[in-house]
């Protein structure tokens, strides 16, 4: 419990597939470093994860971990194990698989990290959003954060344009704007750009 280990591309290239899989357990939360934000997924075994994405709409998908990470560093990060008791791995995997298909997705109130923590602990939480809110409150004040969160919580692509416009007006943190833009663009566009 409480496992948090980093695995880089060089680590993966030098270890066998079977060795890599021994370090991951079904029900583990996988945190993938995307630069300005982290993407989260639930490991279900056999190098597969279930994760929430935005591709013009919210969707829970089942994909190969190697495809989702697309060369980015990742780690097992069951960071809430000390706060909440993790559910049984069989329950985590079964529920994650049952959620595959269309899903709600809101950058601030229900994103990939909310989904992953809900599967493992039964409670949706996002440390990224919490950290952003604390930082934003310190730099812009509570009123600006409340307005920005309200706009983002509306959801959908139109709200993202409003968020981007609001960024210049209320000194909106660049990290959330980047999350919103990458979310709207979708992971596939980011993947294609990296491959070029």
**From 28, 30, 50, 51, the catalytic residue:** 51
3-state secondary structure 48-100: EEEEEEECCCEEEEEEEHHHHHCCCCEEEECCCCCCCCCCCHHHHHHHHHHCC
Q: Are strands 74-77 and 58-64 parallel, antiparallel or unpaired?
A: unpaired
**From 52, 112, 148, 152, the catalytic residue:** 112
Number of separate helices (H) and strands (E) present in the chain: 10, 7
Angle of helix 127-140 versus helix 174-185 axis, rounded to 10: 140
Q: Is 51 a catalytic residue?
A: yes
**From 27, 28, 29, 39, the catalytic residue:** 39
Q: Which residues carry out catalysis?
A: 39, 51, 112
């Amino acid at each position: 419990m409480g496992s948090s280990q980093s695995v880089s591309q060089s680590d993966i290239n030098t270890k066998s597939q079977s060795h890599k899989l021994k370090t991951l357990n079904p029900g583990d939360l996988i945190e993938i470093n995307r630069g300005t934000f982290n993407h989260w997924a639930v490991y279900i075994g056999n190098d597969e994860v279930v994760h929430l994405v935005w591709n013009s709409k919210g969707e829970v998908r089942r994909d190969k971990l190697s495809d989702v990470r697309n060369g980015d560093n990742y780690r097992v990060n069951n960071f809430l194990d000390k706060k909440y008791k993790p559910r049984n791995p069989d329950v985590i995997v079964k529920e994650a698989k049952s959620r595959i298909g269309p899903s709600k997705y809101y950058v601030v109130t229900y994103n990939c990290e909310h989904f992953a923590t809900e599967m493992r602990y039964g409670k949706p939480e996002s440390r990224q959003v919490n950290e952003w809110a604390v930082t934003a409150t310190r730099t812009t004040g509570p009123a600006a954060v409340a307005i920005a969160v309200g706009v983002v919580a509306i959801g959908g692509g139109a709200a993202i344009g409003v968020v981007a416009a609001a960024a210049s007006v209320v000194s909106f943190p660049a990290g959330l704007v980047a999350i919103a833009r990458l979310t709207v663009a979708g992971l596939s566009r980011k993947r294609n750009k990296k491959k070029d």
